């Protein structure tokens, strides 16, 4: 059987395989994909596929995609009620294996999405109707951006840090650019993967620059860029390029790309008051997001819930039942004047309930407690509009790139702007040390910490518990929990290639320190 069929649901991209040539198995209202045959016959076909591509991209952020990374770090302690959720990635001991559900889930999620992006790119290139080409070019640009984003994430997690001297021989991840159900890919080199990332971003920028605007879910989207954009834009491409250039040590280009977004006519702005911070991080209505993807109350938007999990009873009122609680290391990272500490780390907002007992005086992490406009019940449920790219990260990238290239004056100036907006106080000490601290303070919860640690060649310090939480966090043995430290050369900073992938494609080589089983 040479024909491969896939259901493309209206408004979303399905991933179920039809295992027979019997077309009766495919609902007649669906779009049917057949390899080598044009799929996009109308503008509606393209629009529906476009919604699906963006939905695939949205599904790769928040939830376990970010939480898996965060619980590896020094920032959070497991509650004694955490039920071993994220247990192996939290401890990073001998139990962290190639079969870990969380890391394999992230691998599968990205490669499932890459399949969708590849089909979209292939189909856009097959469009010959002049009336459809402009729409197809926008979809292709969006799909290229999304594919670059996935490969950058996969390379950061499953490969060693990019070093120009070794990138041509260092193994990264399989580079799959065409959908082939029977292919058994091998690992490409870091150089090959990163070369593809920048090629995709360059083409995406060119295509989206030509487009002007599109209509998405009844709203006009300026593809040049605007705060809270419903789709990837030229500014979003530049933001992803800034990440890319920082990774590959092209610091002048990293700073240039980040500053292009900071100086964009779109009007992105750092929140600099409690009111603005609450607007940005509670109701998602600030001007910090370069992308803010579509969400509705009815669909149940995905959030980062392991830090809050608000519950309530008539007798007790509202309380937190978190899996993970901020460590004293994280709480100590902020000055009391810092707006981020005031907004993201409340004390006694609600008591914390552990094993049936309520505790007060514990600092909680509420950056992702939930947007009230998306909340489905009476309790905050962690639902937020997905904001995968934020303007604050551009300040961090620009500052680090300036510092790494020896331009400490501009590095201090740009990181000083971020600190001033957040009311973080006077800047003292080594500029690069300040920048490292700001990466932690600004992006905590966003799945960035391990990328930074690898890039800098640093290890992870211990994560002592808050005094008020000492009796309700895991600590047996302490070396796995509150006292766990991670050396800069720990193999666990590079995730294992999933064992299932090696079973079905034996040519895949496992990362050092892990068994293929």
Burial, 278: exposed, middle or buried (Cβ in 10 Å; 0-12, 13-18, 19+)?
middle
What is the share, in percent, of the chain residues with pLDDT greater than 70? 93
pLDDT digits (tens, 9 = 90+) for 459-477: 999 999 999 999 999 999 9
Distance in angstroms (rounded) separating the CA atoms of residues 276 and 297 = 23
| Bridge partner list, 171 | 189
Residue whose C-alpha is closest to residue 224's, from 205, 241, 240: 205
Please determine, for residue 6, whether its predicted confidence score (pLDDT) is greater than 70.
no
The pLDDT, as a whole number, for residue 212 is 87
β-pairing verdict for 357-359 and 352-354? antiparallel
SS3 122: helix
pLDDT digits (tens, 9 = 90+) for 144-155: 999 999 999 999
The pLDDT, as a whole number, for residue 29 is 53
Q: Which residue has 């977004």 as its token pair?
A: 261
Distance in angstroms (rounded) separating the CA atoms of residues 135 and 202 = 19
pLDDT digits (tens, 9 = 90+) for 305-335: 999 999 999 999 999 999 999 999 999 999 9
The pLDDT, as a whole number, for residue 177 is 96
pLDDT digits (tens, 9 = 90+) for 93-141: 989 999 999 999 999 999 999 999 999 999 999 999 999 999 999 999 9
The pLDDT, as a whole number, for residue 32 is 64
| Bridge partner list, 318 | 312
How far, in whole angstroms, is CA 45 from its chain's centroid?
28
pLDDT digits (tens, 9 = 90+) for 219-236: 899 999 999 999 999 999
The pLDDT, as a whole number, for residue 265 is 96
Please determine, for residue 19, whether its predicted confidence score (pLDDT) is greater than 60.
no
**pTM over the 0.75 mark:** yes
Are the beta carbons of 291 and 266 closer than 8 angstroms?
no
Q: Once rounded to an integer, what is the mean pLDDT over residues 342-366? A: 97
For residue 21, what pLDDT band results from cuts at 50, 70 and 90? Answer: very low
Are the beta carbons of 397 and 248 closer than 8 angstroms?
no
Are the beta carbons of 486 and 492 closer than 8 angstroms?
yes
Are the beta carbons of 511 and 155 closer than 8 angstroms?
no
Task: Confirm or reject CATH 1.25.40.390 for domain 7-297+387-494, answering yes or no.
Answer: yes
Q: Containing H/E element for 173? A: strand 171-174
Distance in angstroms (rounded) separating the CA atoms of residues 359 and 352 = 5
Residue whose C-alpha is closest to residue 90's, from 369, 344, 463, 366: 463
Give me the residue spans of the domains in the chain.
7-297+387-494
The pLDDT, as a whole number, for residue 188 is 98
For the chain, what is the mean pLDDT? 92
Distance in angstroms (rounded) separating the CA atoms of residues 71 and 323 = 10
Lowest mean pLDDT among 180-184, 312-316, 391-395: 180-184
pLDDT digits (tens, 9 = 90+) for 484-509: 999 999 999 999 999 999 999 999 99
Please give the full DSSP string across 213-264, using - where no structure is assigned: EEEETTEEEETT--TTBSS--HHHHHHHHHHHHHHTT-HHHHHHHHHHHHT-
Please determine, for residue 433, whether its predicted confidence score (pLDDT) is greater than 60.
yes
Please determine, for residue 165, whether its predicted confidence score (pLDDT) is greater than 70.
yes
């Amino acid at each position: 059987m040479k024909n491969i069929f896939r259901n493309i649901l209206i408004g979303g991209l399905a991933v179920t395989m039809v295992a027979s040539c019997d077309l009766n198995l495919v609902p007649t209202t669906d779009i049917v994909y057949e390899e080598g045959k044009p799929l996009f016959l109308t503008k509606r076909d393209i629009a529906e596929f476009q919604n699906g591509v963006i939905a695939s991209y949205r599904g790769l952020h928040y939830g376990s995609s970010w939480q898996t990374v965060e619980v590896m770090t020094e920032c959070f302690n497991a509650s004694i009620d955490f039920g071993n959720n994220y247990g192996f990635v939290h401890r990073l001991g001998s139990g962290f294996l190639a079969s870990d559900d969380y890391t394999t889930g992230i691998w599968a999620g990205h490669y499932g999405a890459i399949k969708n992006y590849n089909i979209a790119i292939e189909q856009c290139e097959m469009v010959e109707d002049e009336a459809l080409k402009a729409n197809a070019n926008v979809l292709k640009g969006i799909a290229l951006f999304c594919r670059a984003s996935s490969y950058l994430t996969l390379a950061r997690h499953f490969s060693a840090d990019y070093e120009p001297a070794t990138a041509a021989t260092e193994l990264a991840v399989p580079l799959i650019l065409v959908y082939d159900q029977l292919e058994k890919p091998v690992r490409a080199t870091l150089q090959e993967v990163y070369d593809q990332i920048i090629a995709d971003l360059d083409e995406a920028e060119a295509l989206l620059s030509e487009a002007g605007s599109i209509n998405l879910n009844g709203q006009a989207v300026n593809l040049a860029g605007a705060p809270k954009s419903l789709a990837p834009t030229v500014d979003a491409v530049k933001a992803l390029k800034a990440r890319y250039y920082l990774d590959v040590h092209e610091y002048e280009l990293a700073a240039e790309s980040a500053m292009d977004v900071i100086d964009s006519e779109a009007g992105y702005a750092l929140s600099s008051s409690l009111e603005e911070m609450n607007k940005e991080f509670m109701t998602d209505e600030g001007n910090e997001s370069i992308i803010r993807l579509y969400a509705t109350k009815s669909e149940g938007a995905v959030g980062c819930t392991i830090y809050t999990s608000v519950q309530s009873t008539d007798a007790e009122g509202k309380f937190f039942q978190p899996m993970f609680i901020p460590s004293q290391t994280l709480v100590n990272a902020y000055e009391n004047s810092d707006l981020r500490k005031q907004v993201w780390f409340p004390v006694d907002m609600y008591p914390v309930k552990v094993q049936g007992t309520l505790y007060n005086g514990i600092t909680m992490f509420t950056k992702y407690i939930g947007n009230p406009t998306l909340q489905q019940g009476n309790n905050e449920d962690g639902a937020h509009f997905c904001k995968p790219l934020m303007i604050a990260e551009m300040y961090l990238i620009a500052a680090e790139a300036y510092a790494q290239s020896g331009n400490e004056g501009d590095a201090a100036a740009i990181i000083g702007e971020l600190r001033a907006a957040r009311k973080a106080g006077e800047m003292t000490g080594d500029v690069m040390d300040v920048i490292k601290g700001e990466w932690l303070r600004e992006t905590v919860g966003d799945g960035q910490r391990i990328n930074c640690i690898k890039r800098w060649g640093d290890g992870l310090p211990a994560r002592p518990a808050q005094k008020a939480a000492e009796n309700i966090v895991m600590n047996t043995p302490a070396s796995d929990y509150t006292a766990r430290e991670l050396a800069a050369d720990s193999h666990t900073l590079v995730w294992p290639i999933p064992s299932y992938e090696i079973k079905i494609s034996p040519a895949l080589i496992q990362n050092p320190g892990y068994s293929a089983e």
